[in-house]
Structure 1
């Protein structure tokens, strides 16, 4: 399991070359908090530039103060504006841990997390939820969220983690070369979460067979990704497709057969729901 740090404005002046030389090659940066773009983390740009120059894998998190589903969507929109134009190898995480939010109840909080993540995914990023064991046990529907999104679990002072997760935050008092003071420490449990695969549905792929070589706005659609779909369909015995990267009639029919068995619209389009079922 590789190690990962997460940072915010409370960690300034980091020498990212020294961090990477110590064996840590991934970082999750706080992009901001709340519902306003003006609440962008004051050190986000510095952290991003330093980590990118050092060749580190980067993800971000957004600290939530949302008090409703609509507010969670507004927070996602603010996050998207703050991170626009940047590249990430790790998901965008919704950080839920404010004690007063627990009064909203498990169902509402889970729907808020889903709304944030859906908004992030609709913009073409992968999404996930960060919280602690208490929240995932009592205030969030862990099973529902883990089935759809990446899970980043905070559990300090333990020799292991209570829930399956992609990333385990195991300490808040780590010491790392290149960083003055304590820093949050994490282990990457699922290495596939880096660079576009793993939990949270992996790289989202959209295909419209009426325009097989064009991307749906904001998404990727290339021959290599069609090959991925063909390989998955073959592995599940929905066809004996030639893995050629061409979304032709045979692939179209195989997709429709797969959609029928999953109770999906049989439209031949590998959209969000079809892609998630393919990866289960």
Structure 2
């Protein structure tokens, strides 16, 4: 399993609380530190750099891109002010949802501004990287390819961001820290100043010292930098000691075997007579016969996907509406039955002027009209109840998260949508880091018409952030008023 050997940090990882020593003990070699975003310096950049040097970490810088006028030149000057040297990388972080479509052209502007001042790198998620950039071109330009992918290893990268939110911290620091992995020495080669030049073969300026002494250089087989020697006066150079520890070769094993032969033989002889009862600290195991018949079980991945019920109402709400409709229909049927009976009775009655005595079982015209009114009301109640049952479910529109409607385009009543926060004009970078992971929101819109004027109130709940966050705004006609934050942390 691939293990992270670098991390990237910003003001989201408080340098006063971050456990640098625990990160070092976990095998982290260096830090990629955010220098700034837009035209603003990261408030923790200088302290992260100082602590990296204090605890012996290698380090580089990255800049979060907003495509502002003169931003590339500002990023270079900001890196200089933080002490970045020509031997280090300044990487461009391209991930903001508001960026124009031409990412390759914007990166070219940044690369031109950096020029020969620093080593250049690019950060991007794997999907837009494959869609917007040509990998062979970036390799030809010697751009460090920093690619993010949390569920699989990308095909082309120099630095792989393996995990983001939910990664956890180190030691006493429990906040999230992005993990990265470098499969080559691309970051360590240029992480510090005063690095000796690459040595691959003898030159007039450099004479190899025979193996009685060690000298710095690059291994001719693995290209790893460290202290080593040349057994053939420069034809080959073998690194023995690196910053990661001692490097052994086959000749080392051959030389040490005479000292290990007796010990290994004794261990093999002991292992031949080894019994299960003599093994100490063995794990608590079970026999195959003790295990259940797994043929009776199904794999979770083979289970059918759950039915999407987001567009349906709850059973109790539908049953209540159904009961209301049935009650209204029952009342309507009773009223209709009474009216039919009264109509039949009226049909067999004689005219009043033909009767000597006024019968008492005739229905007065006004009473019959009232019965008809009652029937009409009962039928309307039944229709309303059926409509209520049909509308007893609430749907959420996710068809186009980037389409923003005017207040006048909403229908009367309630509606729910999912929208991108950047399209709504909500910038979470102004708020606490605990809400900055969200980039979409659940939008509830309520339209009320009064005196031929439509008024709309819109509530946005941020999805995906650590803390629940809600914004609200009003609008009328074709105009919206600005959003206001209604929850705090």
TM bin (shorter chain): 0.5 to 0.7
CA distance in 1, matches of 2:46, 2:74: 19
> Which structure dedicates a bigger proportion of its chain to strand?
2
Cα offset for 1:10? 0.6
Cα offset for 1:169? 0.3
After superposition, give the CA deviation of every residue in 1:143-162 in whole Å (9 maximum; x if it has no partner): 3223211100011122x213
Unaligned runs of 5+ in 1: 198-202, 204-219, 232-241, 247-280
Aligned residue among 133, 155, 160 for 1:140: 133
Cα offset for 1:79? 3.4
Q: Which secondary structure state, in structure 2, belongs to the residue aligned with residue 169 of structure 1?
A: strand
1:129 aligns with 2:122: yes
Cα offset for 1:133? 1.2
Q: Which secondary structure state, in structure 2, belongs to the residue aligned with residue 177 of structure 1?
A: coil
Please give the root-mean-square deviation of Cα atoms over the aligned residues, in Å: 3.0
Alignment match, 2:6 = 4
1:244 aligns with 2:246: no
Aligned residue among 70, 86, 91 for 2:89: 91
Alignment of 1:169-248 (within 5 A): 169-172=161-164, 173-178=166-171, 179-196=173-190, 225=197, 231=201, 243-245=203-205
CA distance in 2, matches of 1:120, 1:92: 8
Larger Rg: 2
CA distance in 1, matches of 2:91, 2:186: 16
After superposition, give the CA deviation of every residue in 1:49-77 in whole Å (9 maximum; x if it has no partner): 1111000110110000015xx64533433
Task: Using structure 2 for the length normalisation, give the TM-score.
Answer: 0.37
Alignment match, 2:49 = 48
Aligned residue among 2, 10, 16 for 2:20: 16
> Which structure dedicates a bigger proportion of its chain to helix?
1
> Residue 36 of structure 2 contacts residue 75 of structure 2 at CA under 8 Å; is this kept in 1?
no
Cα offset for 1:115? 3.0
CA distance in 2, matches of 1:243, 1:142: 34
Give the 3 Å change call, closer, same or farther, for CA 79–185 of structure 1 in structure 2: same
Instruction: Flag the structure with more relative contact order, 1 or 2, with Cα contacts below 8 A and sequence separation at least 6.
Output: 1
Q: Which secondary structure state, in structure 2, belongs to the residue aligned with residue 100 of structure 1?
A: coil
Alignment match, 1:28 = 32
Unaligned runs of 5+ in 2: 207-489
Q: How many residues align?
A: 199
1:154 aligns with 2:151: no
> Residue 174 of structure 1 contacts residue 184 of structure 1 at CA under 8 Å; is this kept in 2?
yes
Alignment match, 1:111 = 105
CA distance in 1, matches of 2:129, 2:176: 26
After superposition, give the CA deviation of every residue in 1:89-114 in whole Å (9 maximum; x if it has no partner): 752100111122143x2xxx223213
> Residue 73 of structure 2 contacts residue 113 of structure 2 at CA under 8 Å; is this kept in 1?
no
Cα offset for 1:188? 1.1
Q: Which secondary structure state, in structure 1, belongs to the residue aligned with residue 28 of structure 2?
A: coil
Give the 3 Å change call, closer, same or farther, for CA 60–77 of structure 1 in structure 2: closer
Task: Using structure 1 for the length normalisation, give the TM-score.
Answer: 0.62
Q: Which secondary structure state, in structure 2, belongs to the residue aligned with residue 174 of structure 1?
A: coil
CA distance in 2, matches of 1:155, 1:40: 27
Aligned residue among 140, 158, 161 for 1:166: 158
Q: Which secondary structure state, in structure 2, belongs to the residue aligned with residue 191 of structure 1?
A: coil
Cα offset for 1:28? 0.4
